Amino acid sequence: MLNDTLGINAAGHLTFDGQDTAELAKEYGTPLYLMSEDRLRYNCRLYRQSMTEGFGPDSMPLFAGKSFCLTAMYPILAEEGFGADVVSGGELYTALCAGFPADRLYFHGNGKTDREIRFGVGAGIGYFVVDSPEELEAVSDLARSMGKKQKILLRLTPGIDPHTFAQVNTGRLDCQFGVPLETGEAMAFAEQALRCPGVELVGFHCHIGSQIFSWTPFRDAADRMLRFMRDLKAKTGFVTRILNLGGGFGVRYTEYDPEVDIPASIAALAEHIKARCGEWDLAMPQLRMEPGRSIVADAGLSLYTVQALKRIEGGKNYAVVDGGMSDNPRYALYQASYTVYSANRANDPADMVCTVAGRCCESGALLQEGVSLPAPKRGDLIAMCCTGAYQYSMASNYNRVGRPPVLLLSGAGNRLIAKREEYPDLVKLDL
């Protein structure tokens, strides 16, 4: 099995977090997203403890809300000592609705509108992560007009290529996020921030990419950021208090993916940063990291029911299920790999190679190819593993298929944390 959240019980059913997935499918229907609270908290603690040990008690992991943004996430994050990043007024609203402490929120995004800026400043959020010179002026002016001084970080692009897939590679020079270090624009950006009366510059942010399996790209990014902090200090006397290195540690979607040792990676990174700060005579900044995927991905699992098996002569075997790119667009978008098991016949020989096809009306709307399953028949249950990140948050209503519910599996009792989207929900915005 892919990881220790999974097992097979005496009935031959796949278990997730110790619970019978076929029973859960019967009780809640499919498609169904499951989320394990224990795994989620375990992943949070890996970051919290490793960062405290490596970087000291004033460091803090921030959850990247874009990976899984639901009201129920935020009380868990608050209890686990996390902050959070938000990238839109909608994510900010969700966190605030959940009562998440506003001062632990970091507002990212390259296209913030005046309305969103006012919302964030008015809500008293901790930091804006300012993405462009235009946004800097806007935050400063709007904060001033509201009688406030807003704390900010500046987003810089360190020009590191972590060799991940192109769609999620965001630290390169030529991209739409942040301001590049290499061209000298970052220095001008920081000097502009120091002159803006409505903001207080506290530090810097970078994010180099996603699904990164080694700590060394983070080391290289940190080096460039620290060098910049040293140059800025020499030029202006400014002392950086917060350094945010973004998110991006990878997860095991399949047995071919390596496992990241998060505590060891963070310890190595911390040692490197401390040494560099000593060498370059910099005060050790408070560190932030922004994991999303590595907090929620392996805490999630999706269940589907097979509706048909199409055996194409000279072609593939298509197991057509009751969900698809509307609840998980990642294969259609990125050809993302997943591990797929039979949920109701987990002990049967997996003797048929299948393409798991979604129900959405286009030929690219597949969920996975080359999957070995016991020859699926209508009514069989299929589990896709490691689906906690960027599934629910990227789901759509394409074909007016409602989004599945999310069931939080918990020792304290299972709890729906998002309802199934029903037909009336689908027309509620129609005029």
What is 156-219 written as a DSSP string? EE--------GGG--SSSSSSSSEESTTSHHHHHHHHHHH-TTEEEEEEE----SSB--SHHHH
Query: Is 69 noted as a catalytic residue in this protein?
Result: no
Shortest distance in whole angstroms from residue 324 CB to ligand LLP: 16
Instruction: Kindly state whether residue 246 participates in binding ligand LLP, applying the rule CB under 6 A.
Output: yes
Interface with ligand LLP (CB under 6 A), residue total: 20
Q: Closest Cα to residue 153, out of 186, 124, 176?
A: 186
Please, what is the minimum distance in Å from the beta carbon of residue 33 to ligand LLP? Answer: 15
Of the pair 183, 335, the CB lying nearest ligand LLP is at 335
Is the CB of residue 290 less than 8 Å from the CB of residue 85?
Answer: yes
Phi, psi of 279 (to 5 degrees): -60, -40
CA angle, 38 then 40 then 45, to 5°: 95
For residues 4 to 43, the per-residue mask of contacts with ligand LLP, x marking binding by CB under 6 A and - elsewhere, is: ----------------------------------------
**For ligand LLP, the closer CB: 197 or 364:** 364
Instruction: Provide the 10 A C-beta neighbour count for residue 2.
Output: 18
CB of 358 to ligand LLP, least distance (A): 16
Kindly write out the interface string for residues 90-109 of this chain, putting x where it contacts ligand LLP by CB under 6 A and - elsewhere: ------------------x-
Nearer CB in complex with ligand LLP: 108/272: 108
Q: Which 276-305 positions form the footprint of ligand LLP (CB under 6 A)?
A: 290-294
265 binds ligand LLP (CB under 6 A): no
In the complex, minimum distance from the CB of residue 296 to ligand LLP, in angstroms, rounded to a whole number? 8
Distance CA 48, CA 42 (A): 10
Applying CB under 6 A, the span of 131-139, 241-249, 311-319, 398-406 interacting with ligand LLP comes to: 241-249
From the CB of 9, what's the least distance to ligand LLP, in Å? 31
Please, which residue, 95 or 346, has the CB nearer to ligand LLP? 95
Site for ligand LLP in 108-137 (CB under 6 A): 108
> Alpha-carbon distance 52 to 266, whole Å?
10
| DSSP conformational letter for 411 | T
- Phi and psi for 86 in degrees, rounded to 5? -125, 150
Residues 329, 270: Cα–Cα separation, whole Å: 36
> 97, 196, 354, 361: which one is catalytic?
361
The residue assigned the tokens 């375990």 is 42
Q: C-beta of 346: minimal distance to ligand LLP in Å? A: 27
Amino acid at 193: A
Other CB atoms closer than 10 Å to residue 49's CB: what's the count?
15
Residues 145-204 close enough to bind ligand LLP by CB under 6 A: 168, 170
Burial of 145 (0-12, 13-18, 19+ CB in 10 A): exposed
Q: Cβ closer to ligand LLP: 260 or 382?
A: 260
- Which residue, among 393, 425, 416, has the nearest Cα to 65 in the 3D structure? 393
Residues 55-74 that bind ligand LLP (CB under 6 A): 64, 66-67
Where are the alpha helices (H) located in 280-390, listed in sequence order?
Answer: 293-296, 330-334
Closer Cβ to ligand LLP, 173 or 309, answer by number: 173
Q: Which residues bind ligand LLP (CB under 6 A)?
A: 64, 66-67, 85, 108, 168, 170, 207, 210, 246-248, 290-294, 330, 389-390
Q: Which residues are catalytic?
A: 361
